[in-house]
Amino acid sequence: MLYGSASSPMKRLYEKGTRNLIAISKSQVPDALRDILASGNKSKDIIIAVVEAIASTALYAHLADRYASMGVMKDLVRIFTDHADFRSYAVQHRNGRYLELG
């Protein structure tokens, strides 16, 4: 019951997606996001945008499975462990400093 009861909106989103998530799952967008993430790009703007895009689209089961089969998880773990703060601009401010990639 990870996403609630059978009639919960979150479970419907996870199982059936939306027309936009379905379109994304049939496109090359997940591959492009994976390629950008795996490229080792050091731009904090790009990394944050890609991580947020993956997080938002992985709410749909087909995309989550696709990301998992492409090895995106290892790249996300690398980012999370290599950088002090990988969160969005809205929450990343910490001790007066922002994300520093190096």
* Contact present, 34 and 67 (Cβ < 8 Å): yes
Asked, for residue 1, whether it belongs to a domain, the answer is no
Averaged pLDDT for residues 5-33? 90
Q: CB atoms < 10 A from the CB of 56, how many?
A: 12
The per-residue pLDDT for range 68-83, each reduced to its tens digit, is 999 998 888 887 777 6
Residue 19 belongs to a domain: yes
Q: Are residues 25 and 63 in contact, defined by beta-carbon separation less than 8 angstroms?
A: yes
102 part of a folded domain: no
C-alpha dist (Å) from residue 32 to 19, 44, 92, 102: 20, 17, 25, 23
Cα torsion 55, 10, 62, 16 to 10°: value is -140
Query: Does residue 58 sit within a domain?
Result: yes
pLDDT digits (tens, 9 = 90+) for 39-55: 888 787 888 889 899 99
Tell me how many domains the chain contains: 1
Q: What is the pTM of this model?
A: 0.72
On whether residue 61 sits in a domain, the answer given is yes
Q: Which domain holds residue 64?
A: 9-82
Residue 42 in any domain: the answer is yes
